[in-house]
Structure 1
Amino acid sequence: MTLFPIGSAAAPKAVLFDRDGTIVVDVPYNGDPELVREVEGARQVLDALRKAGVPVGVVTNQSGIARGLLTRGQVDAVNARVEELLGPFEVWEVCPHGAGDGCACRKPEPGMVLSASHRLGINPSDMALIGDIGADVDAAAAAGARGVLVPTGVTRPEEVEAAALVAPDLAGALALLWRDGQ
């Protein structure tokens, strides 16, 4: 099933996703792979991108590591479970820092998007990031990528108002990106 038209010159050459609340159900500070559940439609969207030859990646803040609530090994085990459920990702970027650590990688900073761009060999302006909170679309903008907000119950109204592109679900996010890119 094709969710979007292929071949637009301005369409994203890679799509990054936030993890928690975007492609998997958000379980705060989840260190247990058995608790990982797909967001409805995530596998279909990811498979459509893969079938079209569009690289996919994940950029995720994991402040539970800095807070001592999770180990990096637990986060890696959860990420492995995400791949078991949703298929392989070309790139994973994980920020282990807390909000007050002043790092360049924690969203809304652009570090993870820029690193993914470098690792994929794709200019950030040719990429998109789909997420469920303002920090996700802000990180995309700071890196020069396009961001799409897919609101959930934790998305604040002001984040929705501030986002240039807002979609009701992941399939809608792809439709916006490909329509916006034509």
Structure 2
Amino acid sequence: GYSVLVLGKPIEYRNPGVVFAGDTTLRELIALIKLSRVFVGNDSGPLHISGAVGTPSVGIFGPTHPSLGYAPDSPNSRIIGAELPCRPCTLYGKGRCRLGSRLCMTLIEPDEVADAVEELAGFENTEPVEPNNASPRKPAVFLDRDGTIIADAHFLDDPAKIELLPGVAEAIKTLNDAKIPVVITTNQSGVARGYFDIETVETIHGRLREILAERGAKIDAIYFCPHHPEGEIAEYRRDCDCRKPKPGMAMKAASEFGLDLNSSFIVGDKKSDIEFARNIGARAILVRTGKGAQTERELRDIEPDAVFDSLPGAAKYIVEKWKKQ
């Protein structure tokens, strides 16, 4: 048989197993998931971690649904859920059940989960399960948006106000030419605060892509967090897993694009960008554009791996490191 490790938040468990719940740091949690033969979990951060590190996973979806875009998508993952007309009833699974029964969870049979685990763990087939797509995971460059790529307009709400910082398009093209995936990760709490909506953010990002494309540069993916724990809009008022410096956006990118976070780079102008890098095990680069110069002066308890005046210097440094590794 296999040992069972219980991970997550502090809680009492009646089932036997080695309980690490509430006793791990984020790095330790990632390490334990990476060392596991199979990970079983609900639609949550650890499930995306399993995808990021290549561990076969069984995802249990209750009130949420894979169609919302938060499910692992690889040959070594299995999704289990009860097909009900009321699903999905919530984006993040924290709403109250309209039926008062939680049928979407109670209809999931333990044997169905056990069968999926047996299939992935190789109980019946001793051939090892290959990581996602059986291809090597690759590093990426995660760029902050405001103050790193474009001028920090303080809650940008109009694509016409986009102001590309000097040398940014050329810097991103340098990364493109080196075949390094470029991903934007940005906190956009203006959605939660009611300053603008999701569609406005997406329109701004569409225009940003166009401006960069006109200069021969390409962004491979853009992830943004619309939440804030003190937001005015109830739908987005939450202490989420995706607001930097928490690792949610990077974990989702790693799962969807097969990225190696430990070999990746984070570039930004704020302390939260450095903390973001530390939380995913990546290298942190601070740029002095935006709030970067002030951030550099005020840093005390955490240091970046490198500091540059702007993105072009950071891009040159990253390409040199990329070639060496």
Matches within 5 A, 1:1-182: 13-87=139-213, 88-100=218-230, 101-152=238-289, 154=291, 155-156=294-295, 157-159=297-299, 162-179=303-320, 182=324
8 Å contact from structure 1 (residues 125, 145) kept in 2:
yes
For 1:90, the aligned partner's letter is: D
8 Å contact from structure 2 (residues 175, 315) kept in 1:
no
Q: CA deviation at 1:43?
A: 0.3
User: How many residues get paired?
Assistant: 171
Percent identity of paired positions between Structure 1 and Structure 2: 33
Q: Which is higher, the Rg of structure 1 or of structure 2?
A: 2
Q: CA deviation at 1:158?
A: 2.2
Gaps of 5+ in 1: 1-11
For 2:289, the aligned partner's letter is: T
Q: Look up the SS of the partner of 2:223 in the other structure.
A: strand
Q: Greater relative contact order (Cα 8 A, min sep 6): structure 1 or 2?
A: 1
The residue aligned with 2:114 is: none
TM-score (norm 1): 0.86
What is the aligned-residue RMSD (CA, Å)?
Answer: 1.9
Gaps of 5+ in 2: 1-137, 231-237
Distance in 1, matches of 2:281 and 2:255, equals 13
The residue aligned with 1:8 is: none
Distance in 1, matches of 2:263 and 2:303, equals 22
8 Å contact from structure 2 (residues 140, 260) kept in 1:
no
Structure 1 pair 176–158 and aligned structure 2 pair: CA distance change class (3 A): farther
8 Å contact from structure 1 (residues 150, 166) kept in 2:
yes
Q: CA deviation at 1:162?
A: 2.6
TM-score (norm 2): 0.49
Q: Look up the SS of the partner of 1:30 in the other structure.
A: coil
8 Å contact from structure 2 (residues 141, 181) kept in 1:
yes
